[in-house]
Every structure is written in C-alpha cells, then in structure tokens.
Copies of this chain bind each other. A is one copy, B any other.
Amino acid sequence: MSDTEAKPAVAPLPAVLGALQDPIRLEVVRRLANAGGPMRCGLTYEGISKSTAAHHFKILREAGVTEKVTIDGNTHLQLRAEDLNTALPGLLDAVLTAANEAAE
C-alpha cells in the first residue's frame, strides 16, 4: 500500500537553490537520485541526529524537491525529479552531475 502526501508546487528558483546549497541536503538528494525511487529516511543521511534530519527534510519538502511516501506504514523519501525537471529544466541534472563527481 502506498500513500502520498499532497504535493506543494515546486518552489521558485531561489528557494530550490537554497534547499540544495546545504551539504547535508545535497547528499540526501544525491542518494535519492541514485536510488531511483523511494528510500527509508534513515538511509539518506548519516552523522546527524534524527531531529536535525527532520529539519533538513522539511526544507527539501517545502521547496518541492522531495516528498514523503508511506509504504507499508513506513515513511520514505522520494525525489520529485519529474516535477523539478518540468519547473526548472536542467537544474537537477546539473546539480547531480556535480554532486556525484564531488562524491567520487
């Protein structure tokens, strides 16, 4: 069973850039992109507390970068790649290319 929260619109460019400019949030997005689908929240970060992670997830979600998906009662995170590509063409790909290169 899958249940998805109502999605806000993708935020304007400055807010999306603001969401992505934090190294922890950028790493969350990179992992989600490489997973290619929903991930358990706890697998998207390391080295920070759950409450700090929740703060970062909120910023990503409010910018329209990610969404929460509940799968079998467990909260997952999912990248809104298609919505981002529609709203801000080319941005996500450029960011992911650079982030993956930096992570190598």
Copies assembled: 2
Chain A interface extent, by class: 20 to 34
Task: State A99–B12 Cα separation when bound (angstroms).
Answer: 9
**Chain A, 1-40, contact with B by CB distance < 8 Å: what is the 0/1 string?**
0000000000011110110111100100000000000000
Task: State A3–B58 Cα separation when bound (angstroms).
Answer: 46
Q: Does A43 make an interface contact (CB < 8 A)?
A: no
Binds B, one of A44-52, A66-74, A75-83, A87-95: A87-95
Task: State A26–B16 Cα separation when bound (angstroms).
Answer: 12
Chain B residue with minimal CB distance to A18?
B21
B12 and A21 within 8 A (CB) = no
Chain B residue with minimal CB distance to A27?
B14
Task: State A78–B17 Cα separation when bound (angstroms).
Answer: 21
Q: A98 with B102: in contact, given A14-B22, A20-B17, A26-B14 (CB under 8 Å)?
A: no
- Residues of chain A having any CB pair with chain B under 8 Å: 12-15, 17-18, 20-23, 26, 87-91, 93-95, 97-99, 102
